[in-house]
Chains A and B, each alone.
Chain A
Amino acid sequence: MENISQYMKHDHESCDARFVEAEQAAEQRDWARLAAQFAVFDGDAERHFAIEEEILFPKFEDRTGMTSGPTQMMRSEHAQMRDLLSQMRPAVEARNADEYLGLAETLLVLMRQHNLKEEQILYGMIDRAFQGEEQDLIGLMEARKAA
């Protein structure tokens, strides 16, 4: 049975893979593929932020009372990554590969530092706070992703 850490880590890995696909399309100036791959990555990243901000973080905050700690920092990092994504969208539409690749690289550095902190710290705290209830939470997140 998967715990929450493993479930969320898989989600990160799948977002990483989508990121790589889109970046490669931009590198090859394959505009149609870039538009398609970026849309997938953008959507997956937003769904990942959403399951954390709407389900995982509030539940963790309710359970532990830690409302201004790591979850708050993760939210502000999400805002920063969303800001970069919102600048990548017009770069895709304008077929500006250089701007896209610059923004993508910057997003990658932010994203990987962010994921590292979640995987090494926060998810472990969440696992401990929800021992025995992992499957309920994963079910809720699956339902949100499908919505």
Chain B
Amino acid sequence: MPGAGLQLEQAPPFSVPLRFFLSAPVFVLLAAIVLVWQGPEALGSRWTPAALALTHLLTLGFMAMAMLGALMQILPVLAGAPLPWPRVVAGITHVAILLGTLALSGGFLWSEPLLLQLAFLLLAGGFAVFVAGAAGALVQAKLQGAIASELWFPVAALAVTVVLGLYLDAARAWNGLVLAQAWRELHPAWALAGWTGLLVAAVAKQVVPMFQMTPSYPSLASRYFSVAVFALLVAWSAAQALPDSRLAIALGLVLSAAYLVFALATLELQRRRRRRVGDTTLQFWRVGMISLALAALLWASRMAGLAPERFDAALGVLAIVGAAMSLINGMLYKIVPFLAWFHLQAIGAGRRGLSMKSFLAEAPQRRQFAMHLIALVLLLGAACGPVALVYPAAACLGLSAVLLFSNLMKVVGGYRAMPRPATSEGARTPARSLAEPRRAQ
């Protein structure tokens, strides 16, 4: 078998990340349904039950789901840090977050303490298993000093986000309390500017030059970005306790400036890419980075008192739908077809000429991208202006989710349909015994 193996001994089985990737779009569809059902209420204020349910369907159900799935793949392959018991960790994490997200959203929508209590247990358990597994992998990472050290920051920020979220949930679930504003500000900041932003930065540093052959990020800035952002978040959080808010505002402004610079630098690197072949993933990255830049500016304006509170919904749409969801969506179109190809060739299945593109053409990706973009614009419109736009926005968001799911299923269908060699049971034998190290040309 030509070219057998590669990093099979490091890579987890396809089913480990795939279950996360296929579940993610289903939650976007659920979010769209909640948006239609609850109407303008869901974008009215950050604190309405509908807004909280909508936000967590997108952030936990789509973003965390996909990001955890991707980390299960990245940790072993890029960081040389195999996750301990990948099937067990993936199984528990996936089911717990899936059910926990449903319970949490239901708990918000129906103000039902029992559901919020159930969500607490499921999400605490699911994230604890994942964070423990990821930390265990990072401690043993063979490729120390490379991406491994950088992945500590998002994983640590995830742990902070989860603890803060659980604290807010527990207060509501067991005591019917809604905690002070400062506590409620910390959780989304750690979730978006911490966990999500730091993971995006760590991945971008590897992936932006990799896929488009751009120059690298400036080495000094990129080396200290993660540690600086993490330190700023810690300081900003601590400053919330001060009676004088000026220090917190100053730190928050520096933090948003860091993300603004990161987004603009990424757009500039992509503009200078050597590989001129454009694709849908690149379009998703551009929308994601433009949204991130706008979100950083809007967040800074909010902190500086230049924008009124009613813009919070637009800030959420820009950060979540515009930045995070666009980037994740674009990456899924590279990760899932590559893994399908990778796992097939590793067992000697498939045919000559088989490539990532054999599983999913550009045209269906472009259609879904267009729908996502329309949904984003309409959501921004609904958040800033005529609230009736919320209905077409929800329809487009739901349609985009359906198209994404169907595109991912095309890959899975192609993967399953490919003929397997009779000995495919041997798929999990270590790569080295299969490899032909010095095959002549």
Contacts and interface: CB of A to CB of B under 8 A. Distances in A.
Interface string A36-49: 00000000001000
Interface in A52-88: 53, 68, 72-73, 75-84, 86-87
Contacts of A23: 275, 277
Contacts of A102: 353, 355-358
Interface string B172-216: 000000000000000000000000000000000010011101000
Given A20-B275, A79-B435, A116-B206, A109 B5 contact: no
Given A106-B355, A121-B146, A101 B78 contact: no
Interface in A85-100: 86-87, 90-91, 98-99
Contacts of A91: 353
B6 A27 contact: no
Contacts of A86: 2
B132 to A, nearest CB: 26
Contact of A106 (B80, B356, B437, B441): B356
Contacts of A16: 213, 274
Given A20-B275, A108-B211, A77 B356 contact: no
B342 to A, nearest CB: 8
Interface string A108-137: 111011001100110000000000000000
Contacts, number: 111
A84 B2 CA distance: 10
Q: Which of B274, B334, B353 has the most CB of A within 10 A?
A: B353
A101 B2 CA distance: 21
B345 A113 contact: no
Contact of A109 (B3, B356, B432): B356
Contacts of A27: 276-277
Nearest to A91: B353
B210 A75 contact: no
Given A20-B213, A79-B439, A117 B355 contact: no
Nearest to A117: B143
Contacts of A87: 352-353
Interface string B419-441: 00000000000011001111101
B411 to A, nearest CB: 13
A24 interface: yes
Contacts of A46: 441
Interface residues of A, number: 41
A105 interface: yes
B167 interface: no
A113 B3 contact: no
A17 B215 CA distance: 12
B7 interface: yes
A103 interface: yes
B441 A82 contact: yes
B374 interface: no
A109 B5 CA distance: 16
Interface in B63-94: 77-78, 80
Nearest to B144: A121
Contacts of A98: 357
A120 B78 CA distance: 11
A113 to B, nearest CB: 7
B225 interface: no
A45 to B, nearest CB: 11
A73 B435 CA distance: 9
Contact of B435 (A20, A76, A112, A113): A76
26 contacts: A16-B274, A17-B274, A20-B213, A24-B276, A24-B277, A72-B437, A73-B7, A73-B431, A75-B438, A76-B5, A80-B3, A80-B4, A80-B5, A80-B6, A83-B2, A84-B3, A90-B352, A91-B353, A99-B355, A101-B357, A106-B355, A109-B211, A109-B334, A113-B77, A120-B143, A121-B143
A-B residue pairs, 5 tightest by C-beta: A102-B357, A102-B355, A83-B3, A76-B435, A80-B3
Interface of A: 16-17, 20, 23-24, 27, 46, 53, 68, 72-73, 75-84, 86-87, 90-91, 98-99, 101-103, 105-106, 108-110, 112-113, 116-117, 120-121
Given A76-B432, A102-B355, 16 more contacts: A23-B277, A76-B3, A76-B435, A79-B4, A79-B439, A80-B2, A86-B2, A87-B352, A91-B353, A98-B357, A102-B353, A103-B355, A106-B355, A109-B211, A112-B210, A121-B80
Interface of B: 2-7, 77-78, 80, 143, 145-146, 206, 209-211, 213, 274-277, 334, 338, 341, 345, 352-353, 355-358, 431-432, 435-439, 441
